[in-house]
Amino acid sequence: MSRRAAGDITDACANKTVDVIFALDSSYSMRDSLRSTAEIVYTITQAIKQNPKNRVALFQYTDTTEELSWAFKLFDDLNSEELKEKILAIQWQYNYGEDHGLAITTAKEDLIGADRRDRVARTIVVFTDGESENQDLSPVVKDTLCNGPSIIAIGIPTEQVPAEDGKAGLEAIAGGKRDKVLTTNDANTIYEEICKNLNLEQLLISIIYNINIKIYYSNWK
């Protein structure tokens, strides 16, 4: 697996402001891929954080709320070494299942709960092999997309779930948007996808939200 240092990665986010939450599937089938996946996350995080306005968060999940664990959140002010330590400390949770709906909902609520900055691209990036226990993700995904954040599914083929077997699960996570499903371990490709221009839908939701907030608070004056 080839990995690039932050200095070698493109500057796709240099002139954009982003809030990104990485959700890392740490169920049984992903146990042997967690270290290499964490290294990819670290490379991307380094690149995103080169713009001090950008914010990043990371949590790992299985199929229970109790085992959903935040490594760091959007408001945490960590230096490069602290980020590296927390990201590379990710380990298998000794659990066999995964709940992608729980992961997406958790990320959405944290993004919406954070202070909403205008013209900020909000993205949830889910790293998983796509294994799913026949879970209907459409209501959760639809609600998330309607609230503004985009969802990118990163396919991590594993011994238990080869790439082709995880395809349907990955597409479900991404709301059926095949262009939001990446099956690559190249950090630069993932980074560029995260840092694409704000699409019209995100921009309109951001503007409308901020107008409503201003109206709400003006009524209290």
Question: Across residues 163-191, what is the average pLDDT?
Answer: 90
Q: Is the overall model pTM greater than 0.95, yes or no? A: no
Cα–Cα distance for residue pair 99/81, rounded to 1 Å: 30
pLDDT at 216 over 60: no
- Judge whether residue 191 has pLDDT over 70: yes
Dump pLDDT digits (tens) for 61-92.
998 888 899 999 999 999 999 999 999 999 88
Q: What residue segments make up the domains of the chain, in order of their start?
A: 17-218
Average pLDDT for 42-62? 92
Contacts of 160 (CB under 8 A, 6+ apart): 28, 29, 129, 131
Q: Which two tokens stand for residue 175?
A: 């709301």
Q: What angle do CA 130, 206, 193 make, to 5 degrees?
A: 40
Percentage of the chain surpassing pLDDT 70? 82
Mean pLDDT on 11-39: 89
* 156 in Cβ contact with 127 (< 8 Å): yes
Whole-number Cα distances in Å, 79 to 35, 49, 82: 21, 9, 5
pLDDT of residue 66: 85
pLDDT at 115 over 80: no
* pLDDT average, residue stretch 152-176: 92
Cβ neighbors of 7 (< 8 A, separation 6 or more) are none
Q: Are 148 and 205 in contact (CB under 8 A)?
A: yes
Burial of residue 137, with CB atoms counted within 10 A of its CB: 0-12 exposed, 13-18 middle, 19 or more buried: buried
SS3 99: coil
Range with the lowest mean pLDDT among 51-65, 106-120, 162-176, 181-195? 106-120
| Domain covering 17-218, topology | Rossmann fold (3.40.50)
When pLDDT is averaged across residues 183-209 and rounded to a whole number, the result is: 69
Predicted confidence band of residue 162 (pLDDT cuts 50, 70, 90): confident
